[in-house]
Amino acid sequence: MLDAHDWGAREQAHAARADALTAAHRERAARGERHPIEDFLFTYYSYSPGLLRRWHPGAGIELADAAGTPRAEWRWYAAGTTPGGLVVDRGGMEREKSAMLGVVERILRNTAARPGSYGCFGLHEWAMVYRQREHRHPVPLRLGQAATDEVVEAHELRCTHIDAFRFFTPDATPRNRFAPTRETQPELEQPGCLHAGMDVYKWAVKLGPLVPGEVLLDAFELARDIRYLDMQASPYDMEPWGGEPVRIETPEGKAEYVRRQRAFAERSNALRRRMLEAWLGADHG
């Protein structure tokens, strides 16, 4: 149980933190400017800045004296055990969204339990431009097309993530060790994958009120930090947007990439466990 003063303070702090995290994006949008690194979190995931402002306590936490607030009209809230109290309707959400929640649980649980793989070196972004004259991002390639293609040909592609693999060029697809699909996603996800780490934010959004708002914002921050490495290690020249290159075509760049990749794996697994604990509590093993 959280009294009105406590949960009100957390709600306000959450909104202020969310506003700070999205301020630069909102200012750029008002000016009609694009940022090829940070805008990904709002275009690819298509979650608005306003969504981040909405604080939830998580499953099993009752909010005292909340029935007279706008929160009472939000979906997935129900009367609590005390007059005027509100709780997240975990049971109702699980009944209506059982298939989706089952997939999310499997991915979170399996990924956290699996050892990380650290030999991909971020080559998924290189595979997305391999032998391709038109690219997803209107940004010059650091090494030019021919040298970029040579980097791909000098390495084994080991991408395990369907939402990276599906953007490989036709010539890059057969070079990959794995052939990820949506059906095999829960079996192939592993914590060393940068895209799997960014997707922790997506899973937090899908779980909605089942996880605390603080976890959602931590997941957003993780996705933002990972996105920078993702594009720093890419074949694109990201220096104009604060993306000093991590030159994975060199031994030094590979070492830097893996060092940061391992740190992100630890952060993402900690968040996966927090999400499962907040949602499933004692059911989480």
Mean pLDDT of the region 158-166:
96
For residue 203, pLDDT beyond 60: yes
- Using a pLDDT cut of 90, give the percent of the chain over it: 94
Mean pLDDT of the region 163-173:
96
Nearest to 108 by CA among 211, 224, 217: 211
Query: What's the DSSP call for residue 141?
Result: B
The dihedrals phi and psi of 2, each to the nearest 5 degrees, come to -115, 130
8-58 pLDDT tens trace: 999 999 999 999 999 999 999 999 999 999 999 999 998 999 999 999 999
Burial (CB < 10 A; 0-12, 13-18, 19+), residue 71, is middle
Q: What pLDDT is attached to residue 283?
A: 53
Q: Which residues form the domain of 239?
A: 4-283
Average pLDDT, the chain: 95
Q: What pLDDT is attached to residue 285?
A: 44
122-156 pLDDT tens trace: 999 999 999 988 777 788 999 999 999 999 999 99
pTM for this entry: 0.94
Mean pLDDT of the region 215-220:
98
258-271 pLDDT tens trace: 999 999 999 999 99
- Kindly give, in sequence order, each residue whose CB lies less than 8 Å from that of residue 231, ignoring residues fewer than 6 positions away: 36, 37, 125, 238, 243
Top pLDDT among 186 and 137 is at 186
For residue 282, pLDDT beyond 50: no
Give the C-alpha separation, 227 to 135, whole Å.
18
Mean pLDDT of the region 59-81:
95
As for how many domains the chain has, the answer is 1
Between strands 86-88 and 77-79, the pairing is antiparallel
Q: What pLDDT is attached to residue 137?
A: 76
